[in-house]
Amino acid sequence: MEFISAEKLQQKAVEEYNKIKDKIVNDILTIKERMAIEQQEMPAQDPKIRAKNMSEVATGYTKEQAIVEANRCLQCKTQPCVAGCPVSVPIPEFLAAVSKGEFKTAVDIIKTTNLLPAICGRVCPQEKQCQEQCTVGKTYKDAEKAVSIGRIERFVADYERENNLETIPAVAEETGKKVAIIGSGPAGLTVAADVRRAGHSVTIFEAFHKTGGVMVYGIPEFRLPKAIVAKEVEILEKMGVEFRTNFLVGRTNTLTQLLEEKGYDAAFIGTGAGLPKFMNIEGENLIGVFSANEYLTRANLMKAYDEDKAATPLYPAKHVVVCGAGNVAMDAARMALRLGAEKVDIVYRRTRNEMPARREEIAHAEEEGVNFRFLENPVKILGDEQGKVCGIVCLDYELGEPDESGRRSPVAIPGSEHEFACDAVIVALGNGSNPLMVQTTPGLEANKWGQIIVDDNGKTSIDKVWAGGDIVLGAATVILAMGEGRKAAASINEFLKNR
Ligand code: FAD
Ligand code: SF4
Ligand code: SF4
């Protein structure tokens, strides 16, 4: 798709807005007229410039763009979009407010069910959630033409933050009950907010020196600015939530110690899925092979790109190979470009059609210059005499019959082994559960993948302990982690009310 500058998109929106302004004010836009409004594209930095900087790629809607886009909503009585949102944001209601320019009202409506709209508006896979169900997209038989719910959600949340209109949620009278939350990702932060609102004292224990979980150490700055996550944490602090960083539960203290010796009345485990998966091929221990997690953590959390200040060194690499084709692979590849790589190849054993990453992320990676090598898979990583990566050996593949996931399965072509030079390899094949909590908490049950087993309320197999987010679902999404958190928090509040 041709890149259109932010200025042009914004100018077009002003013209469109001026055309329909009177009808908006008098609330007389017909369904036909709403359907005829052109979808507002998200303004973005020029790909050539952004591929070398860490600033946010998508720069966000203007007021006019938000209003015009919100007027595409048909206010369907059956609200199919709401059913597609894991936390049931009242979408038609907030869009109706935006369509009239009432941005603060809109964000207040969203926050009745979603506490982190600036984050979800940016990172939710909307095309598979709220927007997939939208009547407008269905009418066009193209989900990408749906009302851009996520972009508008982001706009109103940014409007609130940038204009200092945020309000600190009210906290009920202190109950004297103490709740421990393990992990400060979206699941833990959501539980903290809901449990604190009920008047309980809340401490979040976080292994890293910074709070926010994957939103801070995994998702790159150019997709989710860390200042936005920090602002959400600041609000929790103002509500009275205590944060204990550099505290690894299972080592610094066990969960049992927190409950039995430190007097916590309940606990929530939101430790995520931070254990990287590897390919188990020869050469994976060479210098210059990284898991995507380590690579992104070095860049995001340790700010390795800030070469003059960062204590964590950057691995200098000019030709980087990324193995995998999901969103994490796209993030790692785009980060490698920003960290100075001249060439970045994504190696994937299927084709573009089977790639699990979001289409938007694939398009952004491609625009920035990431190269895709389809129907290839690594079998060996090559090292030089110093033990550093110097190349990779791959096999060619073809597509066979569909497997249980419905995607055509990759079949290796015998004798197709070939090698090419590279100086770093990033393995982005997904993440599993860290076994530490289960290993150090007697009676805490997990399934064969290490995911903690919970009931419908997020309650685990042991007394006073709930769990949610990726540690229960496997690697999932921010909004699903938040949904799990809300459910568990309601159950914790109910439990503490009766004690
Ligand atoms: P996490 O966010 O993983 O947070 C868990 C926290 O617990 C971490 O801070 C960890 O340090 C801490 N912790 C772990 N063990 C302990 C312990 N024993 N003691 C104390 N603290 C501990 N989702 C989307 O919706 N959209 C995206 O665009 C998207 N992009 C992603 C990109 C990357 C690179 C990755 C890795 C994931 C992405 N995801 C995305 C997935 C999403 O970030 C996760 O699903 C979500 O963060 C899970 O939330 P959580 O609260 O369960 O856990
Ligand atoms: Fe859509 Fe996510 Fe917002 Fe729900 S939270 S409405 S899924 S963008
Ligand atoms: Fe609006 Fe689409 Fe939801 Fe209908 S389905 S109310 S058009 S956002």
Does residue 466 sit in the same domain as residue 384? Answer: no
Which atom of ligand 1 is found nearest the CA of 358?
28
Does residue 149 sit in the same domain as residue 10? Answer: yes
Is residue 170 assigned to a domain? no
Does residue 248 sit in the same domain as residue 283? Answer: no
Does residue 374 sit in the same domain as residue 463? Answer: no
Does residue 269 sit in the same domain as residue 282? Answer: no
Does residue 262 sit in the same domain as residue 124? Answer: no
Taking alpha carbons only, the member of 35, 33, 32, 40 closest to residue 11 is 40
Is residue 169 assigned to a domain? no
pLDDT at 498 (0 to 100): 81
Q: Is residue 265 pLDDT above 90, yes or no?
A: yes
Report the alpha-carbon distance of residue 323 to residue 344 in Å, rounded: 11
Tens digit of each residue's pLDDT (9 = 90 or more) over 89-98 = 999 999 999 9
Is residue 1 assigned to a domain? no
Token code pair at residue 314: 């950057």
Is residue 238 assigned to a domain? yes
- Which ligand places an atom closest to the C-alpha of 31? 3
Is residue 139 assigned to a domain? yes
Q: Is residue 425 pLDDT above 70, yes or no?
A: yes
Q: Is residue 285 pLDDT above 80, yes or no?
A: yes
- Which ligand places an atom closest to the C-alpha of 89? 2
State how many domains the chain has: 3
Is residue 221 assigned to a domain? yes
Which atom of ligand 2 is found nearest the CA of 121?
8
Q: Is residue 18 pLDDT above 90, yes or no?
A: yes
Tens digit of each residue's pLDDT (9 = 90 or more) over 306-326 = 666 666 667 889 999 999 999
Does residue 369 sit in the same domain as residue 282? Answer: yes
Query: Which amino acid appears at position 20 of this protein?
Result: I
Query: Which amino acid appears at position 224 of this protein?
Result: L
8 Å CB contact between 302 and 311: yes
At 138 the three-state DSSP class reads: helix
Residue appearing with tokens 């969960």: 255
Is residue 172 assigned to a domain? no
Tens digit of each residue's pLDDT (9 = 90 or more) over 140-183 = 998 889 999 999 999 999 999 999 999 898 999 999 999 999 99
In the listed set 162, 196, 212, which residue is the last one of a domain according to the structure?
162
Does residue 257 sit in the same domain as residue 287? Answer: no
pLDDT at 499 (0 to 100): 83
* Assessment of whether the complete model's pTM goes beyond 0.75: yes
* Pocket lining: 276 vs ligand 1, CB cutoff 6 Å: no
Which residue range(s) make up the domain with 472? 178-274+432-497
Transcribe 65-86 into DSSP letters: HHHHHHTT----TT-HHHHHST
The residue contributing the CA closest to ligand 2 atom 7 is 85
At 22 the three-state DSSP class reads: helix
Ligand 3 pocket mutation pick from 75, 134, 144, 149 by most atoms within 8 angstroms of CB: 134
In the listed set 162, 186, 217, which residue is the last one of a domain according to the structure?
162
Ligand 2 centroid vs 67 CA: distance in angstroms?
18
Does residue 215 sit in the same domain as residue 342? Answer: no
Ligand 1 centroid vs 467 CA: distance in angstroms?
14
The residue contributing the CA closest to ligand 1 atom 14 is 271
Ligand 2 pocket mutation pick from 93, 127, 130, 152 by most atoms within 8 angstroms of CB: 130
* Pocket lining: 377 vs ligand 2, CB cutoff 6 Å: no
Does residue 267 sit in the same domain as residue 285? Answer: no
Taking alpha carbons only, the member of 172, 174, 202, 176 closest to residue 189 is 202
CATH number at residue 490: 3.50.50.60
Is residue 350 assigned to a domain? yes
* Pocket lining: 180 vs ligand 1, CB cutoff 6 Å: no
The residue contributing the CA closest to ligand 1 atom 12 is 183
In the listed set 384, 411, 429, which residue is the last one of a domain according to the structure?
429
